[in-house]
A and B are shown apart, each in its own frame.
Chain A
Amino acid sequence: MSTEARLTAASVAQRDRRWVGFRTIVIREFNRMVRIWGQTLVPPAITATLYFVIFGSLIGRRIGDMGGVSYMQYIAPGLIMMSVITNSYGNVVSSFFGAKFGRHIEELLVAPLPNWLIVLGYITGGVVRGLLVGLVVTLIALFFTRLHVEHLFVVLAAVLLTSVIFALLGFINAVFAKNFDQISFVPTFILTPMTYLGGVFYSIAMLPVWAQTVSKANPILYMVNAFRYGFLGQSDVNLGLSFALMAVAAVALFAACVWLMEKGTGTRE
């Protein structure tokens, strides 16, 4: 066998080995999510149902239309996005920190897998849960209202990018966390307020000018509005700017996660 042929065979073997490794991480993450379905799939379904009943049906009737559609139709994309954000983030932060805490992250650290692949595996696990929960919430929404999709590609791109971004943020949180308090701090004190103030329940056009300016500093506003545009064809912010911000954030955060793994922060000290 020539040198070139040997190198090609070695590179194919490496690609195959990496693919099996990646698939194993994703399957393990999926199985973990299914194994603890009572913590992963049921709570967001109950929360979403309550939101639709209270905000959509009871309060929403008194609010009337918003942006030319019923209040229920207006908040549905926001609520779906909220569940995607929370679950993508929550899956990665709890799984990766749990692996650090239980030391079974070492199973991956000793294996011949590049760090970018480990990050990609965990992120895919987070995205799978985020999208699955998003789908569950969408199905619940369909019990309460009709969901018309204006731009399917925009819907899919926005939900995927948002899920990736928050899975990556969850990874960074888990890397730095030293105890369980530190993995609940960010979701409770940063993520939840930002999501609620990110245009899930209202259009920022309803706010005073200063509050609109402040709201535009909230990245979640761009994600929710891009997603809502896909359903309703209306947005409070520029769609191009939203996707540009999300794409840059996803690439930058992925690079940051890989860099942290290469450096061994929180894992190899």
Chain B
Amino acid sequence: MKALSLRQLTKTYRNGVQALKGIDLDVEQGDFFALLGPNGAGKTTAIGIIASLVNKTSGTALVFGHDTDTELEAAKACLGLVPQELNFNQFEKVSTILVNQAGFYGIPRAVAKERMEHWLHKLQLWEKRDAISRSLSGGMKRRLMIARALIHEPRLLILDEPTAGVDIEVRRTMWEFLRQLNEDGTTIILTTHYLEEAENLCRHIAIIDEGRIIEHDKMATVLRKLHSEVFVLNPRQPVAEVPQLPGYAVKLAADGSIEIEVTKSQNLNEIFAALSARGIEVVSMRNKANRLEELFMRLVEGRDAETGLVKPAATA
């Protein structure tokens, strides 16, 4: 069973902007799915259409087999949404927000209160149950939106940049929570600007750019397409000249570190041997970007080359 199925989904806004140019997307039940793309690529529009917050121009969207055109209520009942921007009543208490949201999904008040308690404990917000929501910290507000999206126990949870602006500790806790939720059976679709997050959590990935899906596969398959990685080597003594290493693309960074592109057929032993022979001692090494980020940039930049358009920089 597919948790989500989009066919030829298009959206043209009144100002003429074509946000989606006919996207097809399938997400299997139980999957942890990453939907990536640069700013303005159409991710939020696609999510908005699935969640009935944006009117589509054409195409179909099915949530667990329920067509949003003909079985909208059934489709909505399967779906939980954590939007990018805060959208709860800032003057209401934390507990009230959750109990009301459960009510909107037809959950009787007594059951709603039990679930509110359960999710607030799970998301470490129980102590704040009587707090007015605007008094919460940024991370707490994000967790409140997750609790709200889960109050009706949806089969499909869509999170639009849930960890944006939260500190590393909260982000890690949130990852663990989402991983557990997925293991317990909830299908999750995640959009994020932290590509490390997508690489760590998700099993499948789609990359959307300029309203089109340009990549849609298993995470492992997509990452295998990356033929080379750039490593940054820090020498003990600053290097004045670019060391010549036959077969390798080498650059000298302004801070004196060495950037070397290594393809799959090459190996790092050769590089270290060649550098040692030139009297260069390497004290540390790191990836210039993480693997997904590298691929993402290449895919997006590749489209630039085709269209000749100036692209917005992807943030990581």
Contact = CB atoms under 8 A, between A and B. Distances in A.
Interface of A: 14, 16-21, 23-25, 27-28, 31, 35, 99, 102-104, 106-114, 264, 268-269
A20 B210 CA distance: 41
29 contacts: A14-B73, A18-B106, A19-B106, A20-B106, A21-B105, A21-B106, A35-B91, A102-B87, A102-B90, A103-B85, A103-B86, A103-B87, A104-B88, A104-B89, A106-B83, A107-B88, A107-B100, A107-B104, A109-B51, A110-B51, A110-B52, A110-B79, A110-B81, A111-B105, A112-B74, A112-B77, A113-B104, A114-B73, A268-B52
Given A102-B87, A109-B53, 17 more contacts: A17-B105, A24-B104, A27-B103, A28-B100, A102-B89, A103-B87, A104-B87, A106-B83, A107-B100, A108-B104, A110-B51, A110-B52, A112-B72, A112-B74, A268-B52, A268-B54, A269-B13
Contacts of A114: 73
Nearest to B133: A104
A260 to B, nearest CB: 13
B108 interface: yes
B257 interface: no
A20 B107 contact: yes
B53 A106 contact: yes
Contacts of A20: 103, 106-109
Contacts of A104: 87-89
Interface in B1-41: 13-14
Given A16-B106, A21-B104, A24-B104, A111 B86 contact: no
A21 B103 CA distance: 5
A21 B96 CA distance: 14
Contacts of B107: 20
A24 B73 contact: no
Interface string B137-172: 000000000001000000000000000000000000
B88 A112 contact: no
B86 A24 contact: no
Contact of A112 (B55, B89, B105): B105
A20 B106 CA distance: 5
A21 B152 CA distance: 13
Contacts of A27: 103
A18 B73 CA distance: 10
Contacts of B103: 20-21, 23-24, 27
